Amino acid sequence: MKKKTLVPFIVFLLGICLISFIVYKTNAHEEEQKHTTAQLNATTYGERIKNEITNGMEITDVLKQILISEDGELNQFDTVAKNIMSDSIESIQLAPNGVVTDIYPAEGNEAGKIDLLHNKDRQEISCYARDNHTLITQCPFELKQGGYGLAVRNPVYLKDDNGQEYFWGFTIVILRVPDIFSDSISALSDFGYEYKLSKTVAPWDNTYEVVYQSDGSIIHPVSYDFTIGEENWKFEVMPEGGWQNTAFIALTSGFFASIVLLLSGLTRVWLVSKENKNKFQILAHIDSLTNIYNRYGFNELAEKMISENPKAHFIAAFLDIDDFKLINDIYGHAYGDKALKSLADSMKAFFPSDALLGRNGGDEFCILLQNNACEAAAKQLQQFTRIPKTFSCNGQEHPFYISLGYAEYPDFASNCLQLMRCADAALYEVKLHGKNGCMAYKEGLQSRVRKQLGFALKDISEHLPGAFIIYKADKKEDELFYANHEFLHMTGYKDMEELFRLTKRSFRNLIREDERQQIEASIWEQIDNGNENDYIHFHLRKADGSYLSVLDHGRIVENQQYGRVFYVMFMDWKDMHIHYSDKFSYNDKFSKRTAGNITN
C-alpha cells in the first residue's frame, strides 16, 4: 500500500518537473524558431532596403557622369532631373564648389540653396566627403513638405588643363523616408514585425542614429548590418508580440498538467501491467525450468552478438544428456527435470558470466562463448564434459553423463545458423562414437549430420524410386542438405562429401553454367506464380564434369528448423524418351516448364 501511494506521488513530482522542462524546451524551441525566421526576414528585407536606398543614390552617379563628360556643365538640368525623378525623391540638387545652386523642383525648396562647406550642420561631413572622395548620407531631418528626408551627397572631381584633379562640387539627392523603402517595411508590418533602421552618425563615428522605426518597442531584436559607402547601417527586427508566446505556454502547461494527473491516477494499473509485462518477457526468453535462455531467447541474442561483432571469434556448443529417456523411464519425469536443472546449474557455475547459455529443448542445451577459438576452448569444454553430474532421488545422488559438440565462427561458418548446425553435427558424431565425449567440428561431419526434416529421412529417401535431393530454397544463398543414393549413383558422385565439396554445397553449381541464370529465373518465376507441380528440363553436372540431360520435379516445403526447403526428384531425360516415347509425347506434356530449346 505504501508503494502504491508513494509511487503516484513521485510520478506527480516528476511530472511537474517534466512539465517545467517540456514547457521550457518547447518555449526555447519556439523562440529559436522565431529568432531564425526573424533573422531571415531581417536579412532579406535589410538587403532589399539597402538596394532601394542604393538605387535612389544612383541618381547622383548619373548626374556625376554627365558633369564629367560635359566638363562640369549641365545646361538642361531641369529636364535631366525631371526625367530621373521618382515618387520617393524629394529633390535633386547641384552644388558647385559645395554651394547649392540648382534644385529640382525649385518650388518650395528655395531654402535648400546653402553653402554646404560652411554650414554649421553640414560643414564637417561635407568636408569629409570632399577630402576623402566618398559618398556620404545625412539624416533624418524634417522636410518642410512633411515627413523626413535622407540627403545623399556625391563629390565630383574634374581635371584641369594640366591634368590635375580638382573638386568640382556635389551632386545631391534628397530621398523621402520611409517612401524610399516603403514596400519592405509594409511587408514586415503585414508579417507582424516591429523594426528599426539606423545608421552611423558619420563615417568616423560608431554612434548610431535612428533613420526610421515602427511604433512598437524593440527588445532584444535580431539585426542585419550592411554598408553604404563608408557608413554602417543596421536593420533590427522582432515579432510584435515579443519572442515568447504566453498563450501557448499556458496551453501547454495545462495540457501536460492534465496528463500528469491522469498518469498519477493510473499508476496502480501501470504497475500491475508492468509486472505482468516483465513476467511475459521472461517467459518469452527464459526457460522456466532451468532459468537460462530458451531456444528463442538464445537464438535471438546469439545472432545479435555475432552480427554486432562479425570479425570476432565465437565458439558454439551443443550438448545433451546421454540416455536421458532412461532417466525419465526409470525415475520419472520429475527427476528427469531435476537432471536438466542440475545440468543448467553446473553450466552457470562453470562458464564465465559473459557466456550465453540456453536450453534448446528437451535435454539439449547450447552455449556461445565470446572471443574464443577452438584451441583455447577445447580444454575448457572437455573439462566441463568430464565434471561429474548428478541428480538427487530419495536421498541419493545418481550420476548422469553428457555429450558435447562444438564449432568455431568464422572458421567453419559464415553466420549464426551455420555455426549451430556445425556444432550439432559435431554432437551427433560424438553420439555415433559411443556418447559421453567432447568433439570439435571438422570438415566432413556435415554429411552425416542428422537432418531434422520431420521424418526418418534415411529410411524413406533410400527407398524412393528415383534420384532425390533437398536444398535450401533461397534465391541468393541456396544450400544443399541431402542427396539420396540414387542421385549419387546417377551423377557419379562417390558420396555426399564429394558432392558437397565439388558443388560447394550449392544447387546452382549443379546446373550447366550457360543455362544457370535462365533455369533459376524460370524456377522462381513459376513458384512465384503458384505453379508447384510443373517440371524443369536442364543439364545436370556430374562428378566427372560432364552433363546429364534431366527433368526435375520440385516442391517448396516449410521446415521448422531450416525454413523453406526444396524437395526435388530427378529423371533421366533420355531414358524417359526411350521408355515412354510410344505412350505420349514429352515435348507436349513438359513444354510448360522447359527452359528453352535444350538439346541432348
Higher pLDDT, 354 or 267: 354
User: CA torsion, points 22, 23, 28, 30, in degrees to nearest 10?
Assistant: 100
Amino acid at 357: L
The single residue listed with the C-alpha cell 533459376 is 520
Separation CA 427–CA 441 (nearest Å): 8
CATH of the domain at 366: 3.30.70.270
DSSP 3-state assignment of 10? helix
Residue 550 lies in a domain: yes
What is the residue-averaged pLDDT of the chain?
Answer: 85
Q: How confident is the model at residue 496 (pLDDT cuts 50, 70, 90)?
A: confident
Separation CA 124–CA 129 (nearest Å): 9
* pLDDT tens profile 319-374: 999 989 888 888 889 999 999 999 999 999 999 999 999 999 899 999 999 988 88
> Of 419, 448, 477, which marks where a domain is finished?
448
Residue 43's pLDDT is 95
Percentage of the chain beyond pLDDT 90 is 50
CB 505 within 8 A of CB 534: no
CB 137 within 8 A of CB 154: no
Q: Are residues 62 and 162 in the same domain?
A: yes
Q: Are residues 485 and 574 in the same domain?
A: yes
Query: Alpha helix locations (H) across 169-285?
Result: 182-190, 246-265, 267-285
The single residue listed with the C-alpha cell 516603403 is 182
Q: How confident is the model at residue 594 (pLDDT cuts 50, 70, 90)?
A: very low
Return the number of other C-beta atoms located less than 10 Å from residue 531's C-beta.
11
The single residue listed with the C-alpha cell 557419379 is 492
Separation CA 173–CA 585 (nearest Å): 104
Q: Are residues 373 and 313 in the same domain?
A: yes
Q: How confident is the model at residue 50 (pLDDT cuts 50, 70, 90)?
A: very high
> Of 431, 448, 465, which marks where a domain is finished?
448
Q: Are residues 213 and 296 in the same domain?
A: no
The values of phi and psi at residue 78, to 5°, are: -60, -40
DSSP 3-state assignment of 156? strand
Instruction: Using the predicted structure, report yes or no on whether residue 417 has a pLDDT greater than 70.
Output: yes
Residue 281 lies in a domain: no
Separation CA 88–CA 53 (nearest Å): 10
DSSP 3-state assignment of 485? helix
- CA angle 101/103/109 to nearest 5° reads 110
Instruction: Using the predicted structure, report yes or no on whether residue 246 has a pLDDT greater than 70.
Output: yes
Q: Are residues 219 and 290 in the same domain?
A: no
Q: Are residues 433 and 574 in the same domain?
A: no
DSSP 3-state assignment of 342? helix
Q: Are residues 68 and 135 in the same domain?
A: yes
* pLDDT tens profile 291-302: 999 999 999 999
The values of phi and psi at residue 233, to 5°, are: -120, 155
Separation CA 401–CA 343 (nearest Å): 10
Residue 260 lies in a domain: no
Q: Are residues 194 and 294 in the same domain?
A: no
Amino acid at 456: A
Separation CA 364–CA 460 (nearest Å): 26
Residue 9 lies in a domain: no
Residue 253 lies in a domain: no
* Mean pLDDT (whole number) for 121-140: 92
Residue 128 lies in a domain: yes
| Dmax (CA) of the chain | 133
- Does this model's pTM top 0.85? no
Strand partners, 200: 208
Q: Are residues 360 and 482 in the same domain?
A: no
Q: By C-alpha distance, which of 51, 80, 88 is closest to 63?
A: 80
Residue 342: alpha-carbon gap to chain centroid: 46
Residue 485's pLDDT is 85
Residue 185 lies in a domain: yes
CATH of the domain at 190: 3.30.450.20
Q: Are residues 430 and 560 in the same domain?
A: no
DSSP 3-state assignment of 539? strand
Report the number of distinct structural domains present in the chain: 3
Residue 303's pLDDT is 93
Amino acid at 531: N
Contacts of 230 by beta carbon, 8 Å cutoff, 6+ apart: 132, 134, 136, 203
Q: How confident is the model at residue 530 (pLDDT cuts 50, 70, 90)?
A: low
Percentage of the chain beyond pLDDT 70 is 88
Helix, strand, coil abundance in the chain, percent, nearest 5: 45, 30, 30
Separation CA 154–CA 116 (nearest Å): 12
Contacts of 571 by beta carbon, 8 Å cutoff, 6+ apart: 466, 467, 550, 551, 552, 553
Residue 280 lies in a domain: no
> Of 212, 239, 266, which marks where a domain is finished?
239
Residue 520's pLDDT is 86
Range in 94-98, 233-237, 427-431, 554-558 the model is least confident about: 554-558
Q: How confident is the model at residue 267 (pLDDT cuts 50, 70, 90)?
A: confident
* Mean pLDDT (whole number) for 312-322: 94
Q: Are residues 418 and 520 in the same domain?
A: no
Q: How confident is the model at residue 502 (pLDDT cuts 50, 70, 90)?
A: very high
Q: Are residues 211 and 349 in the same domain?
A: no
Range of the domain at 380: 286-448
